[in-house]
Structure 1
Amino acid sequence: MIAWCKKYIKWLQTAPSAKQAASAKNNHGTFYVNQMMALKLIVNDKAGATKLGREYFGGTFKGQMKSNGDQPMEASRSHPYHYRNFNIAGMITNARLLKYADPTSDVWNTTSNGATIKTAVDFLMTTKPSASKESNVTAEIYPNVAAIMSIYGDPQKRYLNFLKNSGFPYTTEASYLWDQPAVNAGAKNAANNGAGAASPTLSSVATSSPTSVAVEIRPGRAMGCMMLIVVFVAMSGLC
């Protein structure tokens, strides 16, 4: 697997289409860094992963948001609610990868025109997909909200109430494996209120290995799920 990943890294560094993605300032550039950082970790190049993360948050990220947390390059797309969420998911993944590669990093407080990743989620929580005539995309924000809640805290229960009022069973998402620190009794109840879906209990998750937790892979989350698997493999030393 390491040999294959090294070949893939080489392709990402040399192929014209890959180099085009690497130079993109929107979500294409964000997810290029996702892949490269995860691959670098798999091949035991933590220094290389750290360098990529620092370059992203010191470069591309700096131009992706306005001070209020909106993302102009994603807002101009034909499906702005979806693309804003998509890029936020990429930002969160890049931040988590960098924090893993360099635990001393203050990445969560890094700003883009004064806005953090949290600011981007806060902005999107006030936006309705119906405003841009988008359908079947509402649930895309919930894993991002859960992630922000687990990272920045939620003393006013704003994020918890947002999830609770949605009825979304986010403990059935693959992203739940990362967001467990956010889950307390109230969050578990919020998750279990959604559409009658069965959710793992706190005790079952705490005593189970990640591979034994039942998760529902939803359409549109394939990239996030793939990256979750890649990062889990890298962190668990399976290769």
Structure 2
Amino acid sequence: MRGLGAVSLSLAVVALAACAGAPPVTATRSAPPAPPVLLMDRAALADARAGALAGRADLAPAITELRRAADMAMTATPVSVAEKTVAAPSGDPHDYVSLSIYWWPDPAKPDGLPYLQRDGQVNPEATDIQRYDGAKIVRMVGSVETLALAGFLTGESMYSEGAALWLRTWFLDERTRMSPSMRLAQIIPGRTEPRGTGIIESRQLMRAVDAALLLEGTPAWPAADQDALRAWFAQLVDWLLGSAQGQMEGRATNNHGTWYDAQVADFALVAGRADVAKDTLAQVGAKRAMKQINDDGHQPLELVRTRSFHYSAFNLLAFCVLGDLGDRVGVDVWHASPRVRNGIDFLTPYRDGTKAWPHPELKDVDYPAELAPILARAARAYPDAGYDRMLASLSAKQSALGALNLRLGVFG
């Protein structure tokens, strides 16, 4: 849903393939019926898979869209942090490097240094893939997510194999892998002081975690690959908890702190460190919700931003992600503080754009796009809130695949 922008991203039954206008294919149906994902909805995934394989008519348009997106991802070459032609400041080609997106050259200086902040205004330099990896991480997770979902729902093994190739390239291959740290994320040219804020970009990797878990048990993704990925995330958890930059981000009192907790919990769970995840999740109510959200639901530190609705929704999505992760390990984040629900209720009157948002907002807001992922998760946690009806109204404006992704809990 966030940050640097929108993400890019075989039918097992001949009749469904024909309906989609595709040639008949031979499907591999080895994926488990209820995958051990962390953020997607396991029951909804199993139901959608059964429906897709059975050729259910209501799913056909979404599956057609999904196959089209997956076919496009199959034609692309997997990206890597090691592709940069401008060396990382560390000299290590495996380091993830990105530009802090709201920082710009100083027009009063010949060399533009040090860069100056323009909150809410994205510097297009950030998308330069010769120097930075910010655009590449978004492309990677979008491709992996699309391919893994297509492989799971359709049973067509080539999509699972494509997802596995992207995962190996980014995380496992010694020539192309990313080092498990974010020490050079969101650098600011001309400023050398250590910063933790770039860690928010690795939240995207939660999508790669779920994609890998969709592949678990398939020939495309052997146990050795999954073990190696778990070890990679264990190293990242150690860095998040033990590095000065990680600890700085953990102390953040706005959306950065909430997303930090979401990452620590998610990555600890995939790494087999449930104790770390449970400890993090148990503190969310008192440490985050009670301090970031007022009783009436407004979030003071997000409302002062130049994109106040966007960041209010962005922070609430992190709380919803934490709520779903808590459900995986028996920690009730959803009801640890009433302020999470209050925060959602503060935003829902603006969901269709007919009521004017009274706070600063630098850009036009796509209210349905901002709120729908929140409502999709919150509707399960608060069945009496009416969020399901609000979501149904917003989903009607989505593409078939967009509506299916909301039902499945797809993160992006």
- Give the shorter-chain TM-score range: 0.5 to 0.7
Measure how far apart 1:93 and its partner are. 0.6
Are 1:30 and 1:91, in contact at CA under 8 Å, matched by a contact in 2? yes
2:234 is matched by which residue type in structure 1? K
Tell me the CA shift for residue 52 of structure 1.
0.8
Give a deviation string over 1:87-134, Cα, whole Å, max 9, x none. Answer: 0000011111112112xx3332222xxx33222111101245754343
Counterpart for residue 221 of structure 1: none
Aligned counterparts, 1:156-195, within 5 A: 157=386, 159-161=388-390, 163-164=392-393, 167-169=396-398, 172=402, 174-178=405-409
Task: Call closer, same or farther: CA 1:177–1:129 in 2, change over 3 Å.
Answer: farther
Aligned equivalent of 2:332: 106
- Are 1:117 and 2:346 an aligned pair? no
Give the counterpart of 1:146 among 355, 362, 376: 376
Structure 1 position 56, deviation (Å): 2.4
Mapped contact 1:108–1:116 kept (Cα < 8 A): no
Change (3 A) 1:86 1:158: closer
Alignment RMSD (CA, Å): 2.5
Identical positions, percent: 23
| Match of residue 8 from structure 1 | 236
- Which runs of 5 or more structure 1 residues have no equivalent in the other structure? 179-214, 216-223, 226-239
For residue 176 of structure 1, report the CA deviation from its aligned partner: 2.5
Contact 1:34–1:93 at 8 Å: present in 2 too? yes
Residue matched to 2:366: 137
Hey, what's the Cα distance between the residues in 2 that align with 1:88 and 1:42? 23
Provide the C-alpha distance between the structure 2 equivalents of 1:48 and 1:109, rounded to a whole number of angstroms. 20
Q: CA deviation at 1:146?
A: 2.4
Cα-to-partner distance string for 1:25-75 (whole Å, 9 max, x where unaligned): 110000001111011111111122101111222312220111111111111
Q: Is the 8 A contact 1:142 1:163 kept in 2?
A: no
1:18 to 229, 232, 246: 246
Bigger CA drift: 123-132 or 45-54?
123-132
Task: Please tell me whether the aligned partners of residues 322 and 333 of structure 2 are also in contact (alpha carbons under 8 angstroms).
Answer: no
How many aligned residue pairs are there? Answer: 175
Return the structure number with greater helix share: 1
CA contact (8 A) 1:146 1:159 kept: yes
Unaligned 5+ runs, structure 2: 1-228
Find the counterpart in structure 1 of residue 288 from structure 2: 60
Which structure has the larger Rg? 2
* Contact 2:296 2:346 (C-alpha < 8 Å) held by counterparts: yes
